């Protein structure tokens, strides 16, 4: 079975620009969660998608938005980038919203740098 694939792996953007990050979920998984991990910190929950609908959201502003497609792949969009948005963005797929016994399968992440 394939794992979770994220693209691009690295990205440099200028403050005020917009960015789209992509995630292909593990085969058979219908739920995708996005996390932001600042340097030296644990991941912070952004939002989760289940069957193409947003299933829950963390404490992030509306300029963070997402999509899930019929094949369960997902996108994270961030508008009006700020310097503090610089972080590792992780996508995690699972078969159910809480991950269950098998937990989340994480991708390797996209390292976003905002200058």
Partner 1 sequence: TQLLEQSPQFLSIQEGENLTVYCNSSSVFSSLQWYRQEPGEGPVLLVTVVTGGEVKKLKRLTFQFGDARKDSSLHITAAQPGDTGLYLCAGTSGTYKYIFGTGTRLKVLA
Contact residues toward partner 1 (CB under 8 A) are: 4, 33, 35, 40-45, 48, 50, 55-56, 58, 90, 92, 97-109
Minimum gap (Å) between residue 15 Cβ and partner 1 = 25
Give the position of tokens 């159910």.
96
Between 16 and 54, name the residue whose CB sits nearer to partner 1.
Answer: 54
Between 104 and 114, name the residue whose CB sits nearer to partner 1.
Answer: 104
Measure the CA–CA gap between 74 and 115, rounded to whole angstroms.
Answer: 25
Measure the CA–CA gap between 19 and 69, rounded to whole angstroms.
Answer: 18
């Amino acid at each position: 079975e394939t794992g979770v694939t994220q693209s691009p792996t690295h990205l440099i953007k200028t403050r005020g620009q917009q960015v789209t990050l992509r995630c292909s979920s593990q085969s058979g998984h219908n739920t995708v969660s996005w996390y932001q991990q600042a340097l030296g910190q644990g991941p912070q929950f952004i939002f989760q998608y289940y069957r193409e609908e947003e299933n829950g959201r963390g404490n992030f502003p509306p300029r963070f938005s997402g999509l899930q497609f019929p094949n369960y792949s997902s996108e994270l969009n961030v508008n009006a980038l700020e310097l503090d948005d610089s972080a590792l963005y992780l996508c995690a797929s699972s078969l159910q919203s809480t991950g269950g016994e098998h937990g989340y399968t994480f991708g390797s992440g996209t390292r976003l740098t905002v200058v």
